A and B are shown apart, each in its own frame.
Chain A
Amino acid sequence: NAGVTQTPKFQVLKTGQSMTLQCAQDMNHNSMYWYRQDPGMGLRLIYYSASEGTTDKGEVPNGYNVSRLNKREFSLRLESAAPSQTSVYFCASSEVRAGTEAFFGQGTRLTVV
């Protein structure tokens, strides 16, 4: 049982490049989330998905797009990376019927130069 798996773990991009961060969960959860965490700061919600086929904006959606490919997978895309998007990105999943606990991946450390 792997929980929440994020790939890649580390990435360096040049300004203007695009990339997709992948997230998959094997707990059959309906809800999935993407957060960013800047050094010494809290987690800010980028996008979330309450169920397969739905996505909603969080606190800081600008510059990002998401796809809930199926129940297991929720990807985050940066179309044109900017230095301000340098951060650690966390994916999480939860199941409303099982309680409030959200399970987090190990994070993707992204640097945009």
Chain B
Amino acid sequence: GESVGLHLPTLSVQEGDNSIINCAYSNSASDYFIWYKQESGKGPQFIIDIRSNMDKRQGQRVTVLLNKTVKHLSLQIAATQPGDSAVYFCAEISYNQGGKLIFGQGTELSVKP
């Protein structure tokens, strides 16, 4: 059902620290899990994805971890910078449902200089 009036959870970190953003997903049959970044007033931007048969994937300054046992996804950002301040969303896609792309709850990351 709808969650009216809820606000996004917030993570506040110091510049240079590592950030960990967590997400719980619902569909065990999803083919890929994805992280998006959304800056104020803009549409979401793709960061990194991980296939459902993988546990870990690394990108530039980012690492995604997938724990299928507890349906948990995390995004680690190394040496967080002020430009990383944004809302981060996890998403999942199912190709047997025609590429249905569903977003999870976001987390607002605030980086203090």
With both beta carbons as reference points, the residue of chain A lying nearest to B92 in the complex is identified as: A100
- Interface Cβ pair total, 8 Å cutoff: 68
Main secondary structure of the interface of B (DSSP, over half): strand
Residue A42 contacts which of B34, B98, B104 (CB distance < 8 angstroms)?
A: B104
- Taking a contact as CB atoms under 8 Å apart, the answer to whether A42 and B49 are in contact is no
Taking the closest CB of chain A, its distance from the CB of B75, in whole angstroms, is: 15
User: Once the chains are docked, how many angstroms separate the CA of A61 from the CA of B6?
Assistant: 21
B8 proximal to A (CB < 8 A)? yes
- Taking a contact as CB atoms under 8 Å apart, the answer to whether B7 and A50 are in contact is no
Contact with B along A20-54 (1 / 0, CB 8 A): 00000000000101010000111111001010001
Taking the closest CB of chain A, its distance from the CB of B73, in whole angstroms, is: 14
- Taking a contact as CB atoms under 8 Å apart, the answer to whether A43 and B7 are in contact is no
With both beta carbons as reference points, the residue of chain B lying nearest to A45 in the complex is identified as: B102
B contact residues around A4 at 8 Å (CB)? 43
- Taking a contact as CB atoms under 8 Å apart, the answer to whether A56 and B100 are in contact is yes
Binding site for B on A (CB under 8 A): 4, 31, 33, 35, 40-45, 48, 50, 54, 56, 58-59, 90, 92, 94, 96, 99-107
